[in-house]
């Protein structure tokens, strides 16, 4: 059933309201951050966890992925100054391929506050299209509500059998793919990626980064 954000806010549930926003974050950019804070506000969430995928199974084999610990360091830097945003390393600690259903189970088991929390799994339009193919999808829908946000491109309508909502966020046509090519060809990164993230990239020499011009 499709329900409105207002209905979700009004729900009288005890326990924390946690957003789970998974991604490769290679690198994290303003599109991720603007999405996270706007969904947090719209759904009155206590926290949004930007969960760094260990092995993003959808992307395996298609390109070289930056090591998980480096992606986690970038996400930590990205969220450090924003109350409510948290960098998640549960998938890295679990190892192996990152399936959201396992992540939710692990979070609930390992943290008493999460055990009684209501989870909202946040996905962009593009990722939403593939959600029904996610590992153990039926089980997943019992553990979390799905939140779909706009991303430039064709909007996706999920089946009405699924408990999902759409939250409006500013549409920013920013992607990690474009950012990686900007590192390669020297186009500006300013305002697309935050300064603390650029510092991690420089310190760790990620993306073969000649980023002096932007810093
Ligand atoms: P890549 O280009 O490497 O796929 P990406 O920019 O899509 O990177 P991901 O780490 O793949 O970033 O995405 C993580 C989540 O963030 C996905 O649910 C994706 O739809 C969402 N997302 C990414 N960029 C945006 C954006 N600009 N606006 C809204 N959602 C976004
Ligand atoms: Mg993507």
Cα distance between residue 42 and residue 138, in whole Å: 26
Q: What is the pLDDT along the chain (215 residues), one digit of tens a residue?
A: 334 444 454 454 679 999 999 999 999 999 999 999 999 999 999 999 999 999 877 666 778 899 999 999 999 999 999 999 999 999 999 999 889 999 999 999 989 999 999 999 999 988 888 888 889 999 999 999 999 998 887 777 777 777 789 999 999 999 999 999 999 999 999 999 999 999 999 999 999 855 544 43
Backbone angles phi, psi at 77, to 5 degrees: -65, -40
pTM above 0.95, yes or no: no
Judge if the beta carbon of residue 38 lies within 6 A of ligand 1. Answer: no
Looking at residue 13, its pLDDT comes to 63
| Environment class of 152 (CB within 10 Å of its CB; exposed 0-12, middle 13-18, buried 19+) | middle
Looking at domain 5-10+17-203, what is its CATH homologous superfamily? Answer: HUPs (3.40.50.620)
pLDDT on residue 210: 53
DSSP 26: S
pLDDT at 11: 55
> End-to-end CA distance of the chain, in Å?
47
Question: How far is the CA of 56 from the CAs of 71, 96, 190, in angstroms?
Answer: 12, 9, 27
Answer positive or negative: Cα dihedral of 196, 202, 206, 210.
positive
Among 22, 100, 153, 175, which is best to mutate for testing ligand 1, by the most ligand atoms less than 8 A from CB? 175
């Amino acid at each position: 059933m499709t329900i409105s954000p207002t209905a979700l806010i009004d729900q009288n549930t005890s326990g924390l309201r946690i957003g789970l926003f998974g991604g490769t974050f290679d690198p994290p950019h303003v599109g991720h951050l603007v999405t996270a804070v706007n969904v947090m506000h719209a759904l009155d969430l206590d926290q949004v966890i930007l969960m760094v995928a260990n092995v993003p199974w959808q992307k395996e084999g298609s390109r070289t992925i930056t090591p998980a610990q480096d992606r986690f360091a970038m996400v930590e830097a990205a969220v450090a100054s924003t109350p409510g945003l948290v960098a998640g390393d549960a998938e890295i600690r679990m190892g192996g391929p990152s399936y959201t259903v396992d992540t939710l189970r692990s979070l609930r088991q390992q943290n008493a506050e999460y055990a009684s929390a209501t989870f909202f799994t946040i996905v962009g339009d593009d990722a939403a299209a593939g959600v029904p193919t996610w590992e153990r999808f039926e089980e997943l829908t019992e553990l979390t509500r799905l939140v779909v946000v706009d991303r430039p491109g064709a909007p996706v309508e999920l089946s009405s059998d699924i408990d999902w909502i759409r939250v409006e966020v500013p549409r920013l046509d920013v992607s990690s793919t474009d950012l990686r090519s900007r590192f390669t060809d020297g186009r500006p990164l300013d305002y697309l990626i935050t300064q603390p993230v650029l510092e991690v990239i420089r310190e760790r020499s990620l993306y073969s980064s000649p980023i002096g011009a932007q810093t």
